[in-house]
Amino acid sequence: MKKLFQLPSDIGWRDQILGATMAILVTAWLLSTADAIGFARDEGFYFRAATQYAEWFNLLVSDPSRAFSRATIDRIWGYNHEHPSLIKSLFSLSWLAFHEKWKVFSHASDAFRLPAMALSGVAVWVTYLFGARVYSRTAGLIAACLFLLTPRVFYHAHLACFDLPIVALWTLCIYIYWRSIEKGGLGWALLAGVVYGLTLDTKHNAWILPAVFLPHAVLVVHRHLRRDWKDQILRVPTSLLAMAIVGPLVFWALWPWMWHDTAARLREYFDFHFNHVYYNMEFLGTNYFDAPSPRAYMPLMIAATVPSITLLLCAVGAGQKVRGALGWLRAWKQNTLTEPERPTYPDMLFALAIIAAISPWFFAKTPIFGGTKHWMTAYPFMALFAAHGLELSLRALSSVLTRWSTRWVAVAKTAVVAFVLAGPLAITMHAHPFGLASYMPWIGGTKGGASLGLNRQFWGYTSQNASEQFLAEHAKQGATVFIHDTAWDSWARMIDEGRIRSDLRGVGAPSQGDYALVQHELHMNEVEFQMWVAFGTRAPVYIVTHDDVPIVSIYQRP
């Protein structure tokens, strides 16, 4: 029995169990904290999509021929067809299974949100495995923790949206590709192809992944290039071929909308994302609503929203790898290259994963309205470098504490790890449920972010907080409320689930409401000014704050 729990040096099934346990714990944690976060704007659309797609899944069982007819597909899958179907299908199936059939959740939202939460757990699991295989189990554990303990990751992990699912699938896809290179064989290659298809069917970030795989594959085969050139051989990793062939097939097969009129619909899909509307986003006190986007946005927002200790350790870990890479380059130039320690170059893969994830924001044409969520795919890999950086630091600590006994050195190392994790944990917990308003202490926290003119929220998810803190107690029976940026489907579900008092009625204009909410974003000021005219007052009756910074103001008709 004791042997069962002893971890061998090789990473194996026990690590999978450990990773799975972490994934389950993360999912449970997210489920237990989800009630505090109101339904974001996009969740409302995906709730509707999932409910609609459920009709198709039911038809698939009861009347398959009708389910596959173009008329049925167009009617059901036409809604929200600008995004692929996989994650919305999971929301739908989760709702059918855990809310409608087995009644595991009393609230539909928990069932809708479960797949994204579980995939957040998968992201943690895969990050652990990657870290454990490339560095050490400790590094894997630390990387998994540092990734999750980022306030905006923690916020988005709760939502029935695609942002954490794409992080999970992006990381898993890179992991499977790397394993296929390490292990070889058709099975791994096919798996890489399938997972890439699932990633494509999650979010359009997946189309950037070739920018990770192709340079890495060249690096892996580079020592054979000269000979292959002579022998007229093109050595291509099987997994790349599988991803190129199987991936698009899986993408197509799992998205019924694409089954008919495929070319035109694909074109429409790409057109939508290549020419996406620019929504408003405040940055350094300016409201950006069109190209050119500020190039400083991504680096500053990463620095301002990812725990500084994570970034510092990432710099340590990545810095050491850069030094190694420079040495490699020198050796390559001098033709003195020796067999590398890891011929699959995992560090380079991590670096490419980060660069590919963030590089669109170096272009002024890329919109910035998503805040940090659109490049969160870089974060597991930054956490992996950070974990490596911490390991290097601990090694350095050991070399300093030579006079200490092994036991006390272990205590010191444990304390360092605890301190490293304590900061991100504290800041992540403190930010909840206002993760989007959270900024790191060097910025001055939420107040500092507001003073710098950085965005505090989007998607209007804070109506629930306005209700909890004021409307529930003070609004008269049947009062009307201008719900501002909250989507109608989100508002309706919050009413259905008792998050907002059921007698309150949402309205679409401030002057129609007994109460009017304004979710503070710079460009939303104009709606607040309307309230001043409509209600004849500049004074809200209540303000929801986070760290004393206004998040939602509530106006009352005099």
Partner 1 sequence: MRSQLEAQVQPSDLVVVSPSWLEPLGRLQLGDGLMTVQRVARADESRFPVAIEVSLGSARHPALASWHLEQEQSWGALQMRRLRNPDPHPVIDDLVSHATAHQMDVSLVRGEAVQPCEWRHGQPVTGPLGFGPAQPSDRYHCRNTWVGETINADLEYKPRRCIHAPPPGGQEVLRLRWKSVRFGTHLLGHHALYVEAERDRKAQRYALFFLRTTRRWARPSTRTDKDGVRLPSIRPPVRAKRRNCKLRYRLPAQTVEPIVSR
Considering only residues 530, 546, 547, 556, which one is a binding residue for partner 1 as defined by CB under 8 A? 530
Q: Binding to partner 1 by residue 532, rule CB under 8 A? A: yes
Contacts of partner 1 in 490-509 (CB under 8 A): 508-509
Contacts of partner 1 in 180-239 (CB under 8 A): none
Nearer to partner 1, 138 or 537 (CB): 537
Q: Binding to partner 1 by residue 543, rule CB under 8 A? A: yes
Q: Binding to partner 1 by residue 542, rule CB under 8 A? A: yes
Q: What are phi and psi of 161, to 5 degrees?
A: -135, -170
Q: How far is the CB of 478 from partner 1 (least distance, A)?
A: 19
Q: What are phi and psi of 116, to 5 degrees?
A: -70, -35
Q: How far is the CB of 474 from partner 1 (least distance, A)?
A: 14
Counts of helices then strands in the chain (DSSP H, E): 24, 7
Kindly tell me the burial class for residue 136, based on how many C-beta atoms sit within 10 Å of its own C-beta (0-12, 13-18, 19 or more): middle
Considering only residues 202, 486, 553, 556, which one is a binding residue for partner 1 as defined by CB under 8 A? 553
Nearer to partner 1, 296 or 429 (CB): 296
Tell me how far apart the alpha carbons of residues 296 and 452 are, in angstroms, rounded to a whole number: 14
What one-character DSSP code corresponds to residue 258?
Answer: G
Q: What is the DSSP string of 422-461?
A: HHHHHHHHHHTT-GGG---GGGTHHHHHHHHT-----TTT
Q: How far is the CB of 459 from partner 1 (least distance, A)?
A: 13
Tell me how far apart the alpha carbons of residues 43 and 458 are, in angstroms, rounded to a whole number: 12
Q: How far is the CB of 505 from partner 1 (least distance, A)?
A: 16
In this structure, the number of other CB atoms found within 10 A of the CB of residue 387 comes to 34
Considering only residues 31, 355, 479, 541, which one is a binding residue for partner 1 as defined by CB under 8 A? 541
Do residues 484 and 471 touch, judged by C-beta distance below 8 A?
A: no
Q: Binding to partner 1 by residue 540, rule CB under 8 A? A: yes
Helix (H) or strand (E) holding 16: helix 13-33
Considering only residues 21, 262, 286, 502, which one is a binding residue for partner 1 as defined by CB under 8 A? 286
Q: What is the DSSP string of 196-213?
A: HHHHHTT-GGGGGTHHHH
Q: Binding to partner 1 by residue 523, rule CB under 8 A? A: yes
In this structure, the number of other CB atoms found within 10 A of the CB of residue 450 comes to 23
Helix extents (H) in 68-162: 70-77, 86-94, 108-134, 137-148, 151-156
Q: Binding to partner 1 by residue 525, rule CB under 8 A? A: yes
Q: Binding to partner 1 by residue 520, rule CB under 8 A? A: yes
Q: How far is the CB of 282 from partner 1 (least distance, A)?
A: 9
Of the listed pieces 18-26, 150-158, 241-249, 524-532, which binds partner 1 according to CB under 8 A?
524-532
Q: How far is the CB of 542 from partner 1 (least distance, A)?
A: 8
What one-character DSSP code corresponds to residue 39?
Answer: P
Q: Examine residue 292 and say whether the peptide bond preceding it is cis (omega within 30 degrees of 0).
A: yes
Q: How far is the CB of 44 from partner 1 (least distance, A)?
A: 15
What does the per-residue mask of binding to partner 1 show for 7-36, with x meaning CB under 8 A? ------------------------------
Considering only residues 110, 163, 485, 489, which one is a binding residue for partner 1 as defined by CB under 8 A? 485
Q: Binding to partner 1 by residue 443, rule CB under 8 A? A: no
Q: Binding to partner 1 by residue 290, rule CB under 8 A? A: yes
Instruction: Write out the residues near partner 1 by the rule CB under 8 A.
Output: 286-287, 289-290, 447, 450-451, 484-485, 508-512, 520, 522-527, 529-534, 537-543, 545, 548-550, 553
